[in-house]
Chain A
Amino acid sequence: MAIRKKALMSAMSLTVVSAMALTGCGNNNDNSASGNSASPASSSNSSDTKAADSSKKDVTLTYTIWDQLQQPAMEAIAKEFTAENPNIKVKVEVIPWGDYWTKMSAAAPAGTLPDVFWMHSGQFVKYASGNFLEPITDKVESGEIDMNNYAAGTGSIYVLDGQNYAVPKDFDTIGLAYNKELFDQAGIPYPDDTWDYAKLAEVAKQLSQPDKGIYGFAAKMDTQGGYWNDMLANGGYIVSEDGTKSGYDDPASIEALKARYQMILDGASPTHQQMTDTDSTEMFKSGKLAMIFEGDWRTADIDGSDIIHGKWNWAPLPKGTAKRGNIINGLGNTMSASGKHKDEAWQFLKFLGSKRAAEITAEMGAAIPAYKDTQSAWVKSKPELNLQVFIDQTVDATAYPAGSKAYPVWFPKESEIMAQAWGGNISIEEGAKQVAAMMNQAIADNK
């Protein structure tokens, strides 16, 4: 009896365990499996392109992007490309930013990167130096594509050791979004290019009504759309120009970080906890915030909110004690070095870098196209909003602090340390110094 029951128990356990493994519905038990499943999911995209191998046959390329808001524009570009090249179809696939690089890092060594995909300046060096990206230097040299066609220095971002790897797609800067209704109610004039950071802090205090859940400004813990701009404006820096040293422990940087955090202490901004519960841009979209720093790429998203639609606008970032700080970044389109249809992929890449593709991007309001003289179409895509501020600010802007192997290492760790400071567990100064030490270590380890 005892033995039979034991046998029964082990049979039962086997069944349950294998059932859990097969269905994948175990809540906690199969995490390692779900973590690993990232790679097959992203690698699946090239499998359907394998079928066709000759260039004359029908070919389907996979074009992977991370912004769902830009999907319609990217599909419109793909459609027009297919109209010109009937044998090449393009499948636009969206992997959200939060998972994008995790999946790409699994796909790269497996040789299953998408045929064409968006590249970010922060990740570029890692992929280019590992020979996962197809260089396009010969096409640039032969004049098939002209890097001088692209504005705001975007043509030089994706160059490593003299090799070109990407066709510039767009660029982005940061603006100050404000809720006109809240300003009108308080009888305060809207922000303009005369504002400095002191004025921002003062007005933010005036507009805050914490008892109603309304705040003047979102002093969020954010880099590109947050305190990096403050640090630059105050005369600080993020990474030294030669890329060897973190600027987080620079006194001017720390002062800027403290000033931002002070707005939370003053009750002029929601707390970090509140902004963890609800994303600050969502707060702005629901009319709970008077002002927020945000990138131009969120324009369509913010304007899509029924609550705020027609009641908001953009202004330039305030002036700092040293200068006007702004981070400019440019995305690129790259192609996989291990793609099955590189000739077709290049045709598509070339089209993505064309004036026509830039016009579609601009007219649909997806992003500020990198192609020269197509930006005004983007500014006109939403005439009721002052989109011109994003173009004007490129003059004072500082390039996104990427372009190193160290960046992908320190960047995710930065937010973990700063979360402790923003959440009040350690002082801002302590947090900034920890980040600086961590960054310097990462730079030393990833020469």
Chain B
Amino acid sequence: MNSRSRYVWAYVMIAPTLLGTVLFWSWPAVYSIYLSFLKSENFGLINHWVGFANYEKLFHDREFWQNLRNTLYYTVLFVPLTLVFSTFFAVLLNSKIRGLSAYRVIFFLPQVTMPAAAAMVWVVLFARDYGFINYLLGTHVAWISDSRFAMFALVIVGVWGAIGLNMLLILAGLQGIPRSLYEAAELDGAVGFRKFRYITLPLLTPTLFFTTVVLMIGATQIFDSIYLLIGKTNVALPSVRSLVYAYYQNSFVYYDQNYGAAIVDILLVINLILTGIQFAFQKKWVNYD
């Protein structure tokens, strides 16, 4: 086979994935940038070019800055907590205990539960007057309708939902660590936490790096738990409303797709910067040896 036909075959093989990605991910992303420079009427059938007007409005919109703060606050709480809990459970499930696969299934279950169904259960758990969480803690807190607590409720639900998949990824990383290293460390007298600190953790950094990047991108796009748990008539909405929620409201509820597009384009830039920073700093802590 000559090299040219090999190329052709390679492209044929990746075409289904590539087409899907371009059609459903790349094209909408590019199109949303175009949309953000327009003012549309009549469901987007009539468009006027307005330049940076939508972005100008954005920078003077106090609600936008509050939404940005909320999004970053959620990310700062959600990502470390998910990493810590996922690593903790992954290490536990990497040991030899009875009923191992049962535990793995239990921890992975939230991942395959429909978010809407899970949210309905959480709404009941969080309820002020008859909720199980208040009953358990002996408190009387309106978890999802009090501005002081709503963010924590969202983080709890978010972490609960994210542990499953990330635990699995970290577990795969743990199983890639050669046993011989632990045996050597034991000969040198390392036990318990020291083994984790000096062998497991450094060798797990590539996996942790990957999960951090993915988690952070996911966290900045939080939407469904706000939509399902908090709702639009909730007094706590302004203190948890994220950029993507604001995008949804503007694009699909207020029919202002252009302003919505400007919001997600800012988010896109933020994510590019965040990911760029992480790649730049990975040399400091990620161990590929």
Contact = CB atoms under 8 A, between A and B. Distances in A.
A120 B219 CA distance: 37
Contacts of A424: 235
Chain A interface main SS type = helix
Given A1-B289, A5-B288, A425 B235 contact: yes
Given A5-B206, A273-B142, A413-B254, A27 B214 contact: no
B233 A130 contact: no
A334 B113 CA distance: 38
Given A28-B162, A105-B255, A423-B145, A416 B232 contact: yes
Interface string A73-112: 0000000000000000000000000000010011011000
A202 B114 CA distance: 46
Interface in B3-41: 17, 20, 24-25, 28
B237 interface: yes
- Among B165, B213, B252, the one with the most A-chain Cβ atoms within 10 Å of its Cβ is B252
Interface string B203-233: 0001101100110011101111100000111
Nearest to B264: A32
Nearest to A213: B129
A227 to B, nearest CB: 13
Which bracket fits the contact residues of A?
35 or more
Contact of B127 (A33, A36, A277, A416): A277
A301 B172 CA distance: 51
B40 to A, nearest CB: 9
Contacts of A31: 221-224, 244
Interface in A320-336: none
A28 B224 contact: yes
Interface in A3-29: 5-6, 9, 12-13, 16-18, 21, 25-29
Contacts of A126: 255
Contacts of A272: 145, 235
B221 A102 contact: no
A420 B254 contact: no
Which bracket fits the contact residues of B?
35 or more
A27 B210 contact: no
Given A29-B217, A424-B235, A425-B147, 11 more contacts: A1-B289, A16-B165, A27-B161, A28-B162, A32-B247, A34-B224, A35-B252, A105-B252, A130-B42, A412-B254, A419-B237
A424 B148 CA distance: 14
A25 B219 contact: no
A105 B43 contact: yes
B235 A419 contact: yes
Contacts of A415: 232-233
A338 B165 CA distance: 45
A221 B145 CA distance: 14
A160 to B, nearest CB: 14
Given A28-B222, A409-B255, A413-B254, A221 B142 contact: no
Contacts of B122: none
Contacts of B207: 9
A12 B218 contact: no
Interface of B: 17, 20, 24-25, 28, 42-45, 111-112, 115, 123, 127-129, 142, 144-147, 158, 161-162, 165, 169, 172, 206-207, 209-210, 213-214, 217-219, 221-225, 231-238, 244, 247-249, 251-255, 264, 288-289
Nearest to B128: A277
B141 to A, nearest CB: 10
A38 interface: yes
Contacts of A422: 235
B214 A16 contact: yes
A41 interface: no
- Among B43, B206, B232, the one with the most A-chain Cβ atoms within 10 Å of its Cβ is B43
Contact of A28 (B142, B218, B255): B218
Nearest to A2: B288
18 contacts: A1-B289, A2-B288, A5-B288, A16-B165, A16-B214, A17-B214, A28-B158, A28-B219, A28-B224, A31-B221, A31-B244, A35-B248, A35-B251, A130-B42, A272-B145, A409-B254, A419-B232, A425-B235
Given A9-B206, A409-B255, A27 B115 contact: yes
Interface string A305-342: 00000000000000000000000000000000000000
Contacts of B210: 9, 12-13
Contacts of A108: 43
A276 interface: yes
